[in-house]
Amino acid sequence: MARRRRHPPGDEERLAAMLGFSPADEYLGLDLSPGETGGLLATAETLAAWTPEPPAPEQQKRLLAAAMAAAGALAAPRLTRPRGDLWTVADGLWAVLDAVRPHVHVFRAPFWLATLVAVAAGLPLLAGSRSLGGWLDLDFAGFLVLMAPVVAVGGTAYAFRSCGSGMAELEMTAPLTPWQLIAGRLAWVLAYDSLLLGLCSVAAAATGPGLALGYLVAAWLGPMLALALADLLLTSILQPWAAAGACLGLWAGAVACADRLPWMAPLAAAGTAGAFGSAWVFAPVCAALLAALALSGQRLAARLAGLAPQAGG
Partner 1 sequence: MLELEGISKSFPIRADRTVGAAHAPRRRPVLLDVRGNLPPGVTILTGASGAGKTTLLRVLAGIIRPDGGSLRYEGTEFQPRARWFRSCLGYLPQRVAVYPEMSVRVFLAHMAALKAMPVGLAGRLAQDVAGRLGLAACLDRPLGRISHGQAKLACLAQALLNDPDVLFLDEPFEGLDHSAGRSVAALLARPGRIVLLTAHAQPRWPLPLAQLWLLRGGVLERG
Q: Which residues bind partner 1 (CB under 8 A)?
A: 58, 61-62, 64-66, 68-73, 75-78, 101-106, 108, 110, 161-162, 165-177, 302, 305-307, 309-313
Minimum distance from CB of 194 to partner 1 (Å)? 23
Q: How far apart are CA 253 and CA 262, in angstroms?
A: 14
What minimum distance in Å lies between the beta carbon of 55 and partner 1?
A: 12
Nearer to partner 1 (CB atom), residue 35 or residue 166? 166
- Tell the smallest beta-carbon distance from residue 165 to partner 1 (Å): 4
Q: Which is nearer to partner 1, 175 or 277 (CB)?
A: 175
C-beta of 178 vs 198, nearer to partner 1: 178
Nearer CB in complex with partner 1: 7/185? 185
CA nearest 153: which of 220, 229, 222, 238? 229
Minimum distance, C-beta of residue 202 to partner 1, in the bound complex (Å): 32
Q: Which residues contact 153 (CB under 8 A, 6 or more apart)?
A: 227, 228, 231, 244, 247, 248, 251
Nearer to partner 1, 21 or 107 (CB): 107
Q: Give the shortest CB-239-to-partner 1 separation in angstroms.
A: 14
